[in-house]
Amino acid sequence: ILERHGHDGTRLLEILRETQDLLGWLAPETIDTIATAIGWPRARVESTAGFYSFFHTRPLGRYRVLFSDNITDRMLGNRELMQALCNKLWLEPGRVSEDGLVSVDATSCTGLCDQGPAALVNYRAISNLTSDRIDTMAELIRSETPVAEWPADWFRIEDNIRRRDVLLNYDLAPGAALAAGLARGATEFLDEVKRSGLRGRGGAGFLTGRKWQSCRIAPGAEHYVVCNADEGEPGTFKDRVLLTSYADMVFEGMTLAGFAIGAKQGLLYLRGEYRYLLDPLEAALTRRRSAGLLGTNIQGKDFDFDIDIRLGAGAYICGEESALIESLEGKPGKPRIRPPFPVTHGYLNQPTIVNNVETLAAACLIAKHGGTWFAAIGSASSAGTKLLSVSGDVARPGIYEYPFGISITEVLADAGALNTLAVQISGAAGNCLADNEFGRRIAYEDVPTAGSFMVFNHGRDMFDVVSNFVHFFAHESCGFCTPCRVGTAVNRRLIDKIAAGHGSPYDIDEMFKMHRLMQGTSHCGLGNSATTALFDILYKFKPTFERRLQSLDFEPRFDLDYALSEARRMTGRDDAGAHLTDEKS
C-alpha cells in the first residue's frame, strides 16, 4: 500500500483506509509503521487517524453497521430498526459484540434521504430498510455471510429524478462540451463563464467566473481544480445523482475549469459515505483517458489535464473548502485561517479553485451554449437552474431541477406535500420556513440554498427536528475553536435538558447567549451557522418549546440532592440541613 502511494504523506487518507481494509483497524504499531514510511512524526499520523469517524484506532466488529441518523431517517423509524437489530444481535448501540463479530451505531446523514431509512454496512450503502430486512441482516451477520453475498437489491440506489431542466436534460456525447470550450480558447471561455453569472452551487453563491479569474492570475508553479463532492449537508443528495448518472459531465466540467485557470491536475474529493461510487467513477476516468479526453494534448490541443479521486472518511467539516484542502494533504480536516484564500494558496499552497459538483457540471452548458444563453435562465441575480434534494413528508421524494426563482409552494405541490408545517432549506445549517413563508423563492436574492429541501407536516414535532440538528453539530464540530466546540456541546446539553422536562426560560436565554457568541466568534461557517435553524424554530414554533418548560425557575439538569440519596441511605445520615431542596422521587 505504501509503495503504491509512493510513501507520500499527502495520500495519508488513502493509505489509512486501505490499511484498515486489510487489517480491520489501525493498531498503534500500524500507525508507527506508516509514520516511519512516509517520514512524518507519529503524532501527525495519529491526529489524522483520530480525526475521521471512519478510521478506527481500536478494534471494531468484522461487520460494522452504521445507521444513517438524519431527521428524515428518524421520521422513517431508523432508531427502532437500529434497536431491533441490536436486540437480535444481543448488542448495545455503539458497542462491539464480545466475540468481535459486529458493531452497530449511528452516523450522520448518508445522503439517501429519498430512500431511507438507510445504513452503511462495512461502508456499503443499503437503502429502504424494513424490519424484514433487519431480521435477515441479523441472520446474515450471525452466519458470517460476506457482505458481497447479501441480496443485491439491498444495495440498489435509485436516482429518483422527478423533474429535469437544462442540466439534467444534458445529452451531449463525452467530449462535445470540452471541444466547444477548447475551440473558444481559455480567455474567451473564462469570459463566457463570467458573462453567464454562474454562482457556486455549494451554498455561498460566490461568482464562479470571478473565482476562476483570481486563480488564473495567481502566481504558482502549479494550479489545481478541486471538485468538492463531500456532500454532507443533512438532506442533500443531488451530487450523488450527478456522480452516479452524469459523471462525464462533472469530469468534463473539471477539465474545462482546468483549461480556464491553467491547471494540469484535478482532484475530486468524494465523501466517504459515497464509497460505492468510487469504482464506477474510476471506470469513467479510465474511459475518458482512453478517449483522449484526459491526459496529454487533449483533443489535439496544447492542453494536459488529469483527474485523481480522493475519498473522505466521514467528516462533515471537510465540505468547508479549506478543511477539504487540509484533508487532501493528508491532515485532519480543520479549516484554515483565511486569508490567504485557496485561489492563491490552496492545495500544496498553490493556486486552487474548489467548486461544487453541480457548479462544474453547469460549466459544460456554458461551454456549449455560451454565457448569455445561461444568464437568460433563472432570476435576476441567480442565473441557471438549481437541483433540489426533496425529502421528508412528500409523496415523491427525489431530485427536482428548477430555474432559480421557483417558489416553495410550487416545489411542495410538485413533490406531493400535504398539510405542510415547515420546510428546512439548505440542511441543518440553513433556514426553517413556516407556512406563511411558502411564497418565497429559491434564489440568492431571496432563499439561497445548497439544495437540501426537507419537508415536515403538521404531524411532526419541530422540537425533534431541532434536537436532531443540535446533536448533529455537536458531533460534527471539528473542535478547533472554543466557541463552536463548547457552544455546540452546551446547546446539546440544554436541548437534552429541555427534552427531559427540566427546562426553564433560563435555558432558552443560555441558548441565545451561545447563539450570539458562536455567530460572532466562530472560526468557520459551521460554528456561525450551527444555531440558525435552532433560532428559526424557536421563533417560529415557540409552543413546541414552551410546553416543555415545566418551571419558571432555574432547574439544574443534574439533581445533586437526588444523587446523594443513596449515600444518605447507606450511611444513615439524613438530617434536614444536608438537603439542598426537597428530594426528588
Of the pair 341, 400, the CB lying nearest ligand SF4 is at: 341
Of the pair 485, 568, the CB lying nearest ligand SF4 is at: 485
Q: How far apart (Å, rounded) are the C-alpha atoms in residues 261 and 224? A: 8
Of the pair 330, 527, the CB lying nearest ligand SF4 is at: 527
The answer to whether 485 contacts ligand SF4 (rule: CB under 6 A) is yes
Q: How far apart (Å, rounded) are the C-alpha atoms in residues 119 and 146? A: 16
Candidate residues 477, 491, 504, 532; the one interacting with ligand SF4 per rule CB under 6 A: 477
Q: What is the 3-state secondary structure (H, E, C) of 539-567?
A: HHCHHHHHCCECCCCCCCCCCHHHHCHHH
Per-residue DSSP letters for 516-531? Answer: HHHHHH-SSHHHHHTT
Which element (helix H / strand E) includes 215? helix 208-217
- Quick check: helix, strand or coil at residue 333? coil
Angle at 314 between CA 311 and CA 317, to 5 degrees: 100
User: At its nearest, how many Å lie between ligand SF4 and the CB of residue 150?
Assistant: 36
User: At its nearest, how many Å lie between ligand SF4 and the CB of residue 430?
Assistant: 16
The answer to whether 319 contacts ligand SF4 (rule: CB under 6 A) is no
Of the pair 392, 487, the CB lying nearest ligand SF4 is at: 487
Task: Choose one: 19-27, 48-56, 153-161, 473-481; the region binding ligand SF4 (CB under 6 A).
Answer: 473-481
User: At its nearest, how many Å lie between ligand SF4 and the CB of residue 522?
Assistant: 4
Of the pair 309, 514, the CB lying nearest ligand SF4 is at: 514
User: At its nearest, how many Å lie between ligand SF4 and the CB of residue 481?
Assistant: 3
- Residue 146: count of CB within 10 angstroms of its CB: 10
The answer to whether 503 contacts ligand SF4 (rule: CB under 6 A) is no
The residue whose grid cell reads 436532531 is 468
Q: How far apart (Å, rounded) are the C-alpha atoms in residues 328 and 266? A: 12
Q: How far apart (Å, rounded) are the C-alpha atoms in residues 229 and 226? A: 9
The answer to whether 478 contacts ligand SF4 (rule: CB under 6 A) is yes
222-225-231-233 Cα dihedral, nearest 10 degrees = 80
Of the pair 333, 405, the CB lying nearest ligand SF4 is at: 333
User: At its nearest, how many Å lie between ligand SF4 and the CB of residue 556?
Assistant: 27
The residue whose grid cell reads 475553536 is 481
Binding mask 326-365 for ligand SF4 (x = CB under 6 A): ---------x------------------------------
Q: Where are the beta strands (DSSP E) in 265-357?
A: 265-270, 306-311, 352-356
Candidate residues 243, 364, 417, 481; the one interacting with ligand SF4 per rule CB under 6 A: 481
Of the pair 335, 392, the CB lying nearest ligand SF4 is at: 335
Q: How far apart (Å, rounded) are the C-alpha atoms in residues 492 and 425? A: 21
Task: Choose one: 102-110, 253-261, 479-487, 551-559; the region binding ligand SF4 (CB under 6 A).
Answer: 479-487
The answer to whether 232 contacts ligand SF4 (rule: CB under 6 A) is no
537-540-543-545 Cα dihedral, nearest 10 degrees = 20
Q: How far apart (Å, rounded) are the C-alpha atoms in residues 139 and 240? A: 30
User: At its nearest, how many Å lie between ligand SF4 and the CB of residue 4?
Assistant: 32
Query: Which DSSP letter does residue 6 get?
Result: T
Of the pair 335, 370, the CB lying nearest ligand SF4 is at: 335
Site for ligand SF4 in 516-535 (CB under 6 A): 522-524, 526-527
Number of helices (H) and strands (E) in the chain: give both, helices first.
Answer: 24, 16
Query: Which DSSP letter does residue 237 get?
Result: -
User: At its nearest, how many Å lie between ligand SF4 and the CB of residue 523?
Assistant: 4
Of the pair 398, 527, the CB lying nearest ligand SF4 is at: 527
Q: How far apart (Å, rounded) are the C-alpha atoms in residues 381 and 348? A: 34
The C-alpha cell that represents 245 in the structure block:
448518472
**418 near 168, Cβ under 8 Å?**
no
The C-alpha cell that represents 194 in the structure block:
463570467
The residue whose grid cell reads 480558447 is 185
User: At its nearest, how many Å lie between ligand SF4 and the CB of residue 283?
Assistant: 35
Binding mask 423-462 for ligand SF4 (x = CB under 6 A): ----------------------------------------
Of the pair 116, 333, the CB lying nearest ligand SF4 is at: 333
The C-alpha cell that represents 211 in the structure block:
473565482
Of the pair 426, 522, the CB lying nearest ligand SF4 is at: 522
The answer to whether 484 contacts ligand SF4 (rule: CB under 6 A) is yes
Task: Choose one: 48-56, 162-170, 357-365, 475-483; the region binding ligand SF4 (CB under 6 A).
Answer: 475-483
User: At its nearest, how many Å lie between ligand SF4 and the CB of residue 532?
Assistant: 13
Which element (helix H / strand E) includes 411? helix 408-415
User: At its nearest, how many Å lie between ligand SF4 and the CB of residue 529?
Assistant: 9
Q: How far apart (Å, rounded) are the C-alpha atoms in residues 371 and 208? A: 12
The answer to whether 480 contacts ligand SF4 (rule: CB under 6 A) is yes
Which element (helix H / strand E) includes 292? none
The answer to whether 394 contacts ligand SF4 (rule: CB under 6 A) is no
Q: How far is CA 241 from the centre of its chain?
A: 14
Task: Choose one: 229-237, 245-253, 324-332, 474-482; the region binding ligand SF4 (CB under 6 A).
Answer: 474-482
Candidate residues 186, 317, 357, 377; the one interacting with ligand SF4 per rule CB under 6 A: 317
Nearest Cα neighbor of 385 from 163, 194, 162, 166 is: 166
Candidate residues 435, 479, 496, 510; the one interacting with ligand SF4 per rule CB under 6 A: 479
Instruction: Tell me how far CA of residue 129 lies from CA of 77, 102, 135, 400, in angstroms.
Output: 9, 18, 10, 24
User: At its nearest, how many Å lie between ligand SF4 and the CB of residue 204?
Assistant: 15
User: At its nearest, how many Å lie between ligand SF4 and the CB of residue 440?
Assistant: 28
**513 near 521, Cβ under 8 Å?**
no
User: At its nearest, how many Å lie between ligand SF4 and the CB of residue 172?
Assistant: 39
Number of residues that bind ligand SF4 (CB under 6 A): 14
Task: Choose one: 213-221, 347-355, 392-400, 476-484; the region binding ligand SF4 (CB under 6 A).
Answer: 476-484
Angle at 435 between CA 430 and CA 436, to 5 degrees: 100
Which parts of this chain interact with ligand SF4 (CB under 6 A)? 317, 335, 477-481, 484-485, 522-524, 526-527
